[in-house]
Structure 1
Amino acid sequence: MYKKTAEDMVSFIKNSPTAFHAVDSMKKILNEEGYQELPEGKRWEISLGGKYYVTRNDSSLIALKIGTDLENYSFNIAASHSDSPTFKIKENEELEVRGKYTQLNTEGYGGMLCAPWFDRPLSVAGRAVVKEGDSFVTRLVKVDRDLVMIPNVAIHMNRKINEGFEYNKQVDMLPLFGGGECQKGDFKKLIAEELNVGEDDIYGMDLYLYNRMEPSIWGAKEEFVSCPQLDDLQCAYTSLQGFLKGANEKSINVFACFDNEEVGSGTKQGAGSTFLFDVLHRLNRGLGKDEDAFYCALASSFMLSCDNAHAVHPNHPEKTDTGNCVYMNEGIVVKSHAGQKYTSDAVSVAVFKGICEKAGVPVQFFANRSDMAGGSTLGNIAMAQVSMNSVDIGLPQLSMHSPYETAGIKDSYYMIQATEEFFNSHIEAQENGVLVE
């Protein structure tokens, strides 16, 4: 069961090289499960027991499963993100080098590890906006072949490379696209051919590099899985599966996957936007409930902020806190931080521990070393728009923000089991605590 779950997860990731593709993959899964799309720009017709989803920018998605007994309802929310660190192709993309090479002009998206991007087959994916009559239509792009590579400088020309090197993204990280026969405009021509449209019909492009290396299940006991974008598509996929499996009639279950977490979430489709509030507020109104009912619902609502965590590194165990450190294949990680970079507190941790106990899923705890700054995630950003109890969780992994990351074979299964139990639960705020039934 562990290996099959991991194989299904990496298959999803392989088909989702960008946030646009990830949302498209989620839409296909939801459509197969009978979910109905609600366009933001149209009036919604909502019914008890309904199953719906909403997208924004084609890169963020919120899915909804509505109970049938909503007298004192609340929202059960699992939130993750669809984007990963990579390189975005600039508008004027081609750079000519001495008439012999053509490079693609890129810029970094998010805080990536640069070194692992070298000397591996890469390609290009994203979206293009195509003019069709008087309309501008979004089309997905995925060049499904080895297309570009970022070549390393030989050690003979950089003798101190192994003593530490600061990569310059405008100099060192540009991918090689073509040789002397490559002509100006060949890149856009290639994209037009992929879309079967004329070059002049393409009016805009959001294109990114993606790693072509195949996923791998490996280790002495096949205990590890490696592939691109585990942060955070592993959490996105597994929490979606838990969402699809779970149900309770007294709550509205919500699966949310936001774009742009890797660059701060401050976009119209990010966790810091009004997207979640807009959807929940419209949903409440569509069910015929008043404003007061909405805020009562939020008071009992609960969010799982799902984003992967740092496992102890075998070569550098000193990088993690001695007691609050985590290992692959040993369960879901609960993340805490005194400065509230993570949303976990005593109440939310207790509720989640109880849910995992019912699901039979192991739990472990992570905190950063007190003398090292850690990363942040989307939970506390989303709370600025829609406040509720929230716990930050994730799955332990190595090589975070590399184009090829590693996780444990068991942990995807654990996350599905835990989120299914979460979505089976009705959570209600009480005067001196929280009811979970």
Structure 2
Amino acid sequence: MREELNQGLIEYLAASPSPFHATASLARSLQAAGFKPLDERESWITEAGGRYYVTRNDSSIIAFQLGSKPLAEQGLRLVGAHTDSPCLRVKPHPDLQRQGFWQLGVEVYGGALLAPWFDRDLSLAGRVTYSRDGRIESQLIDFKAAIATIPNLAIHLNREANQGWPINAQNELPPIIAQIVGQDGPDFRALLADQLGREHGLVADVVLDFELSFYDTQRAAVIGLNGEFIAGARLDNLLSCYAGLQALLATDADENCVLVCTDHEEVGSTSLCGADGPFLEQVLRRLMPEEENYQRAINRSLLISADNAHAVHPNYADKHDGNHGPKLNAGPVIKVNSNQRYATSSETAGFFRHLCLENEVPVQSFVTRSDMGCGSTIGPITAGQLGVRTIDIGAPTFAMHSIRELAGSQDLAHLVKVLTAFYSSAELP
């Protein structure tokens, strides 16, 4: 099972170079498993025992299974994750001509580690909006081939490089995509129109706009002398999206189960499709239009917010609290912060720890050093929006927010096992 899950994650990462593609990949898997798509613009007819999903902005998705018992009596078992990862996004007017090269201006999305982006074989993917025969349409594209790179400056010209130097995102990050030949200037929108034709057989009248991200073309892989690790891009947080999906597909219990994977977590989640927006609440209220039933259901529910955790790095062990250094391949990590950067309480942590023990899944804890700041997740945001009890957990990871991250090859199976048990558990606290 472990090898099958790891290979499935590798394939999912390859198919998901952008939040749009990650959401489309989840939707395809859900539909293949019998989940019915719902349209927010239409009336919904749902029934007990039904399985459904809905997307918003093409980059966020909520899937749910309805049990036979009323939501107000049984509550909901929710697993939350996010579809976005730090990256380089193409600017609206990106064309640059410098020293005979065609480059694209980029904006840093989220808290990216910038140095690893240099000297990589990069491609481009995302959503393009265009007009065709008088109609405005959108389509996902993925160049797939390595079309760009950001070369480092040679050590001979930057003798202080190994002592560390600040990277200027405006001047030093524009990827090179071609040499300019002839008199014609670069035209990125024309390039996108050509890609729409090559990839989808579409003839666009005008490319109106786009949301495109560069990504590393090197596939994820199981590595290590004994295959102990998974290395790949976007493990934060597509590993959790994939784990939640596999758990939802594996459950055959008569429970009310929800998987919510939202965009824009890396930039604060405040958007129409982010965790700090109305998406989840609006979906749940359509299922429970009566206010009292909605409030009763929320107070019988529990959310597991799954987002990767910082494993203790052997070269930087002093960056962790001495009693809270999660290890790779040692199970999911309960994340705690007294200042509510994580939403974990003793009640929700106790429930999750008991669930792990009952299902023979190892479990760990993380608290940041008292003299360091702490990141956050969708957990506190969703708890604050809905008033739902929440625990923040995640798979231990190295190099979070790098272009290539590292996780343990056993931890995906651990996470899927406990999330499957959660979806099937008979009692919530």
The TM-score bracket by the shorter chain reads over 0.9
1: CA distance between counterparts of 2:160 and 2:112?
22
- Report the equivalent of 1:120: 120
Question: Which consecutive residues of structure 2, in runs of 5 or more, have no partner in the other structure?
Answer: none
- Report the equivalent of 1:256: 260
Alignment of 1:88-103 (within 5 A): 88-98=89-99, 100-103=100-103
2: CA distance between counterparts of 1:276 and 1:247?
23
1: CA distance between counterparts of 2:154 and 2:170?
19
2: CA distance between counterparts of 1:31 and 1:73?
26
How far residue 172 of structure 1 moved from its aligned partner, in angstroms, is 1.0
What do residues 166-215 of structure 1 show as CA deviations (whole Å, max 9, x unaligned)? 10100111100111317434432222122114454321111110111122
- Report the equivalent of 1:402: 402
Residue 34 of structure 1 aligns with an amino acid whose one-letter code is G
Residue 366 of structure 1 aligns with an amino acid whose one-letter code is F
2: CA distance between counterparts of 1:390 and 1:110?
24
- Report the equivalent of 1:284: 288
Residue 195 of structure 1 aligns with an amino acid whose one-letter code is L
Question: Which consecutive residues of structure 1, in runs of 5 or more, have no partner in the other structure?
Answer: 429-433
How far residue 134 of structure 1 moved from its aligned partner, in angstroms, is 4.1
Aligned partners of 1:111 and 1:401 also within 8 Å? yes
Residue 13 of structure 2 aligns with an amino acid whose one-letter code is I
1:298 aligns to what SS in structure 2? Answer: helix
1: CA distance between counterparts of 2:132 and 2:164?
51
Residue 385 of structure 1 aligns with an amino acid whose one-letter code is Q
- Report the equivalent of 1:11: 11
1:72 aligns to what SS in structure 2? Answer: helix
Aligned partners of 2:348 and 2:391 also within 8 Å? yes
- Report the equivalent of 1:272: 276
TM-score when normalising by structure 1 = 0.94
2: CA distance between counterparts of 1:320 and 1:185?
48
Residue 20 of structure 2 aligns with an amino acid whose one-letter code is F
Aligned partners of 1:218 and 1:224 also within 8 Å? yes
- Report the equivalent of 1:230: 235
The answer on 1:76 being equivalent to 2:80 is no
Residue 137 of structure 1 aligns with an amino acid whose one-letter code is E
Once superposed, what is the RMSD of the aligned Cα atoms? 1.3
- Report the equivalent of 2:208: 203
2: CA distance between counterparts of 1:239 and 1:270?
18
2:253 aligns to what SS in structure 1? Answer: coil
Residue 243 of structure 1 aligns with an amino acid whose one-letter code is L
Residue 208 of structure 1 aligns with an amino acid whose one-letter code is S
Alignment of 1:310-389 (within 5 A): 310-389=310-389
Residue 72 of structure 1 aligns with an amino acid whose one-letter code is E
Instruction: After the TM superposition, list the runs of 4 or more consecutive aligned residues in structure 1 that deviate by more than 6 angstroms.
Output: none
- Report the equivalent of 1:108: 108
Aligned partners of 1:271 and 1:382 also within 8 Å? yes
How far residue 341 of structure 1 moved from its aligned partner, in angstroms, is 0.4
How far residue 157 of structure 1 moved from its aligned partner, in angstroms, is 1.0
Alignment of 1:283-302 (within 5 A): 283-285=287-289, 290-302=290-302
Aligned partners of 1:247 and 1:423 also within 8 Å? no
TM-score when normalising by structure 2 = 0.96
Aligned partners of 1:65 and 1:254 also within 8 Å? yes
Greater displacement, 418-427 / 87-96: 418-427
Residue 190 of structure 2 aligns with an amino acid whose one-letter code is K
- Report the equivalent of 1:431: none
2: CA distance between counterparts of 1:153 and 1:201?
37
Q: Percent same amino acid at aligned positions? A: 35
Residue 303 of structure 1 aligns with an amino acid whose one-letter code is L
2: CA distance between counterparts of 1:299 and 1:199?
50
- Report the equivalent of 2:177: 177
2:28 aligns to what SS in structure 1? Answer: helix
2: CA distance between counterparts of 1:393 and 1:385?
19
The answer on 1:242 being equivalent to 2:247 is yes
1:123 aligns to what SS in structure 2? Answer: strand
What do residues 274-312 of structure 1 show as CA deviations (whole Å, max 9, x unaligned)? 111000110113xxxx32111011111000000000111
Residue 271 of structure 2 aligns with an amino acid whose one-letter code is T
